[in-house]
């Protein structure tokens, strides 16, 4: 069954060949106990390693059951050792971190045997050698003889045809040596046992056949076995270690070095914690913004205005902000309007279209007509015109800002973004609100206009119920034939007592308001209620000057009055500008669409898109409407910036991940050095190179998994602390929040990085010579 045909083996060192075997010819019976004797250096162990497939012969052939091994590849030798060979070593070569049962089972894991069957067979083998009561012990808890019995049980468990024993009694006392020899003798009844030994007495006492070697040649064989020339055939077998077995081996090894494993995992978790905290902030902040957009900001308007600036388009990284620089010294160019600036044509056709499509089912609609507000007050005989707030610095082109404006919000918007500090309990037909800044102040110009003292603390009741007038078109303009002139302040003062109800409106301060959110602002001055603004527009729209201007194709206002209104008399859109200024335009300058809820936004935009599609299909692209949702764009911009910042922070945190991965690679290499003998044992029982590599890859992955899991757990523990620091800036919200998907991804990244870091050490482990590995200590 086993034939060595002219086996030669040499080692080449520095170009010189050193012969270990010089042409050995031996055949062995299927069952016999053969002892190989010889002095040190005679080639005994070399021949045993060649028979066992741990080493390769240089010339000749090793024939096993008529199968030549000349063309065997590594995987064929691995399968041969696993299925046909059982090794018994002088130093037992048991894996210290596995219990006795697991040591014996190991060979079966490479044979594809089920777990239950493995356990039963291992117990049977241990029972044969008398160790069934010790299966849960570690090798270090057994005597030398017991450990050798475990090695014999491991050699027997896969039911091999050949048992190779290398000095099986060399480390035992004489009494125990006899026990082991008797055990081997009993096994030889149905197996071939080839034993290398220096003990001639034991060899002659127990072995039936003695083969002597000297200087790499057979010098004596007391019972030679001669067979006819075999008919060579080819038989292929294979072995394979499962991933679970590799993980189990690595896990048990890590358990023996718990402290080092924990410290390594903690070091690897630091990078995970850094990335995890950044991801928790990014995810939490994005969710916070989305929640605000769906909740707090859901009712903020989509704006359709005659002129617009789209913040979202402006922040698009691909947009051209300025004109491209020309080549050469200079060139001519017509002005180009940037994509984020534009105009809309808002007319009755558009208004009719959105009304026909029931846009009111999805939004509260405010049509805003921009017009000049002429407010006056008479306080203790002092006639006061419309108050304005001068700019803090005299910058050219920066004009005084009005302190009385129209409201553009629905009542729901006021309820959502402002808090009412005080309310007037009396009756008022036309209402206005006093808006306070965050520091509870209001411009002195407003206080003077209302007849209140400046630079002093006041009570809400001091301002509630105070009134002023807004003079309408009928009280502002004097008609001389077909031309209208703007009355001066002194003329309006002279007419104050005799004004009729169609010439003015009395406005009452009914509320004091203030912003109720860090994301909202309230005009620091007087805000006309939306109903009051609509009433003023209705009166001005029906006024004589507005009717006359709509009926005329030229200006009905004298040039001086145009200049006072801030209108260029030479403007080509003169009539449109005049109608806007006096509140006489038929169509609004701006339409504010306040969604009833977040989901309604999509329906509103769909209706506008339908209108645009209609205009395009009719070849009127210039009439398409650009609706702006600046709050959503701003939130998206903030989210984009947050993502960019997060990417930078993650990149920095990832450096520690790479460093920790390199460290884990070094730890894995250290493990390879520590487990060199284990590598030799695995190869001896038939493990392939890839199986050995798989064991150390599994160790790297386990460390990576532990580091990732530890990092995620610590991140979850740190998130509440981070939220404590952010609570004031986020109105008490828990912004930092590590998403479960991100947590799983971090664990996976940690495992991947450590796997990559462990590839080189595991490759080194796989390439180790099993003979050399078995000799290491």
The vertex-284 CA angle with 282 and 289, nearest 5°, equals 95
**Region 340-348 average pLDDT:** 84
Paired tokens of 263? 């410290």
**Across the strands, what pairs with 10?**
19
**Region 375-404 average pLDDT:** 83
Q: pLDDT band at residue 694, thresholds of 50, 70 and 90?
A: confident
DSSP state letters, 209-231: EEEEEETTEEEEESS----PPP-
**H or E element that contains 469:** strand 467-471
Question: For residues 206 and 185, what is the distance between their CA atoms, to the nearest angstrom?
Answer: 6
pLDDT in tens, 473-525: 999 999 999 899 999 999 999 999 999 999 999 999 999 999 886 656 788 99
Cα–Cα distances in Å, from 142 out to 92, 170, 472? 12, 17, 109
The predicted pLDDT at position 232 comes to 55
* Helices marked H in 619-675: 630-674
Cα–Cα distances in Å, from 164 out to 12, 39, 225, 509? 26, 19, 18, 107
Side by side, which strands form the sheet with 67-68? 16-28, 2-13, 59-64, 67-68
What is the Cα gyration radius of the chain? 47
Main-chain phi, psi angles of 627, to 5 degrees: -95, 140
Question: For residues 468 and 301, what is the distance between their CA atoms, to the nearest angstrom?
Answer: 30
Paired tokens of 346? 């808002």
pLDDT in tens, 81-124: 888 899 998 888 898 888 999 999 888 887 778 888 989 999 99
Query: Alpha-carbon torsion 345, 348, 350, 354, what sign?
Result: positive
CB 168 within 8 A of CB 195: yes
Q: What is the pTM of this model?
A: 0.62
Paired tokens of 114? 């089920």
Paired tokens of 100? 């006795």
* DSSP annotation of 13: E
Q: Please list, in sequence order, all residues whose beta carbon lies within 8 angstroms of the beta carbon of residue 689, skipping any fewer than 6 positions away.
A: 74, 78, 766, 767
Question: For residues 415 and 418, what is the distance between their CA atoms, to the nearest angstrom?
Answer: 6
Residue positions counted in the chain = 777
Q: pLDDT band at residue 307, thresholds of 50, 70 and 90?
A: confident
pLDDT in tens, 640-675: 777 788 788 788 877 888 888 888 888 888 888 888
**Highest mean predicted confidence (pLDDT) among 366-380, 498-512, 591-605:** 498-512
197 by DSSP, 3-state: which?
Answer: coil
CB 110 within 8 A of CB 239: yes
DSSP state letters, 757-768: HTHHHHHHHHTS
CB 240 within 8 A of CB 107: no
The predicted pLDDT at position 374 comes to 94
Q: pLDDT band at residue 335, thresholds of 50, 70 and 90?
A: low
State the residue for tokens 């009993």: 186
Share of the chain above pLDDT 90, in %: 39
Question: For residues 630 and 309, what is the distance between their CA atoms, to the nearest angstrom?
Answer: 9
pLDDT in tens, 719-734: 888 888 877 666 656 7
Query: Alpha-carbon torsion 721, 723, 725, 731, what sign?
Result: negative
Cα–Cα distances in Å, from 530 out to 212, 320, 536? 115, 38, 10
All domains in the chain, ordered by first residue:
2-239 (3.40.50.300), 258-292+635-775 (no CATH), 371-587 (no CATH)
Question: For residues 38 and 186, what is the distance between their CA atoms, to the nearest angstrom?
Answer: 24
Paired tokens of 286? 């994005």
What is the number of other CB atoms lying within 10 angstroms of the CB of residue 451? 16
CB 50 within 8 A of CB 7: yes
What is the number of other CB atoms lying within 10 angstroms of the CB of residue 215? 14
Query: Alpha-carbon torsion 20, 25, 29, 35, what sign?
Result: negative
CB 685 within 8 A of CB 249: no
Asked whether residue 306 carries a pLDDT value surpassing 90, the answer given is no
* DSSP annotation of 628: B
Question: For residues 541 and 54, what is the distance between their CA atoms, to the nearest angstrom?
Answer: 104
Q: Convert 500-539 to b/e letters by CB count within 10 Å (16 or more is b).
A: eeebbbebbbbbbbbbeeebeebbbbbbbbbebbbbbbeb
**H or E element that contains 85:** strand 85-88
Paired tokens of 413? 């918007």
Question: For residues 638 and 343, what is the distance between their CA atoms, to the nearest angstrom?
Answer: 26
The predicted pLDDT at position 365 comes to 87
Asked whether residue 680 carries a pLDDT value surpassing 90, the answer given is no
CB 103 within 8 A of CB 154: yes
What is the number of other CB atoms lying within 10 angstroms of the CB of residue 720? 10
């Amino acid at each position: 069954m086993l034939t060595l045909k002219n086996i030669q083996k040499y080692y080449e060192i520095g170009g010189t060949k050193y012969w270990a075997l010089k042409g050995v010819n031996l055949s062995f019976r299927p069952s016999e106990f053969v002892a190989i004797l010889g002095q040190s250096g005679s080639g005994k162990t070399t021949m045993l390693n060649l028979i066992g497939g741990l080493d390769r012969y240089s010339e000749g052939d090793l024939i096993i059951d008529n199968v030549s091994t000349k063309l065997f590849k590594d995987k064929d030798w691995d399968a041969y050792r696993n299925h046909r060979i059982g090794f018994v070593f002088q130093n037992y070569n048991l894996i210290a971190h596995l219990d006795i049962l697991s040591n014996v089972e190991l060979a079966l894991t490479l044979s594809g045997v089920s777990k239950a069957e493995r356990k039963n067979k291992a117990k049977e083998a241990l029972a044969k050698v008398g160790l069934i009561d010790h299966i849960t012990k570690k090798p270090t808890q057994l005597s030398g003889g017991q450990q050798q019995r475990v090695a014999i049980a491991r050699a027997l468990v896969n039911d091999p045809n050949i048992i190779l024993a290398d000095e099986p009694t060399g480390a035992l006392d004489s009494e125990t040596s006899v026990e082991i020899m008797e055990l081997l003798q009993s096994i030889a009844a149905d197996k071939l046992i080839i034993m290398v030994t220096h003990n001639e007495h034991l060899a002659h006492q127990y072995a039936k056949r003695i083969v002597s070697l000297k200087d790499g040649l057979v010098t004596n064989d007391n019972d030679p076995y001669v067979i006819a020339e075999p008919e060579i055939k080819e038989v292929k077998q294979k072995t394979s270690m499962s991933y679970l077995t590799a993980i189990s081996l690595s896990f048990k090894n890590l358990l023996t070095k718990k402290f080092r494993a924990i410290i390594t995992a903690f070091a690897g978790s630091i990078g995970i914690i850094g990335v995890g905290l950044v991801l928790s902030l990014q995810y939490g902040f994005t969710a916070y913004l989305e929640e605000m957009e769906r909740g707090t900001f859901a009712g903020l308007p989509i704006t359709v205005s005659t002129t617009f600036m789209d913040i979202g388009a402006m922040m698009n990284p691909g947009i051209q902000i300025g004109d491209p620089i020309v080549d050469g010294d200079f060139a001519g160019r017509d002005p180009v309007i940037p994509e984020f600036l534009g105009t809309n044509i808002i007319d009755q056709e558009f208004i009719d279209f959105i009304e026909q499509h029931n846009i009111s089912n999805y939004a509260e609609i405010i049509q805003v007509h921009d017009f000049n507000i002429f407010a006056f007050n008479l306080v203790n005989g002092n006639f006061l015109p419309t108050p304005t707030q001068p700019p803090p610095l005299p910058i050219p082109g920066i004009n005084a800002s009005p302190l009385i404006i129209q409201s553009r919000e629905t009542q729901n918007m006021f309820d959502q973004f402002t808090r009412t500090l005080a309310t007037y309990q009396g009756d008022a037909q036309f209402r206005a609100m006093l808006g306070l800044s965050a520091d509870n102040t209001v411009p002195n110009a407003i206080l003077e206009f209302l007849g209140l003292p400046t630079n002093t603390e006041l009570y809400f009741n001091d301002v509630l119920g105070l009134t002023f007038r807004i003079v309408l078109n009928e009280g502002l303009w004097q008609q001389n034939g077909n031309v209208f002139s703007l009355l001066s302040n002194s003329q309006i003062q002279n007419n104050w007592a005799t004004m009729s109800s169609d010439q003015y409106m009395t406005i009452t301060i009914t509320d004091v308001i203030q912003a109720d959110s860090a994301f909202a602002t309230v005009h620091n001055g007087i805000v006309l209620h939306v109903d009051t603004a609509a009433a003023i527009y209705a009166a001005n729209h029906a006024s004589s000057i507005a009717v006359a201007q709509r009926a005329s194709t030229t200006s009905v206002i004298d040039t001086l009055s145009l200049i006072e209104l801030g209108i260029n008399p030479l403007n080509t859109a003169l009539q449109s500008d005049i109608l806007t200024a006096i509140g006489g335009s038929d169509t609004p300058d701006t339409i504010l669409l306040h969604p009833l809820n977040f989901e309604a936004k999509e329906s509103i935009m769909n209706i506008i898109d339908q209108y645009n599609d209609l205009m395009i299909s009719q070849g009127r692209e210039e009439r398409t409407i650009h609706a702006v949702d600046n709050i959503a764009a701003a939130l998206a911009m903030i989210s984009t910036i947050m993502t960019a910042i997060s990417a930078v922070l993650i990149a920095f945190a990832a450096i520690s991940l790479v460093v920790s991965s390199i460290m884990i690679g070094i730890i894995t290499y250290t493990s390879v050095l520590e487990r060199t003998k284990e590598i030799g044992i695995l190869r001896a029982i038939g493990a392939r190179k890839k199986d050995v590599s798989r064991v150390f890859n599994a160790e790297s992955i386990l460390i990576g998994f532990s580091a990732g899991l530890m990092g995620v757990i610590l991140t979850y523990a740190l998130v509440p602390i981070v939220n404590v620091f952010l609570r004031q800036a986020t109105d008490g919200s828990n912004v930092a929040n590590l998403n479960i998907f991100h947590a799983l991804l971090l664990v996976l990244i940690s495992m991947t990085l450590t796997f990559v870091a462990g590839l080189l050490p595991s490759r080194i482990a796989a390439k180790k010579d099993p003979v050399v590995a078995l000799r290491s200590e």
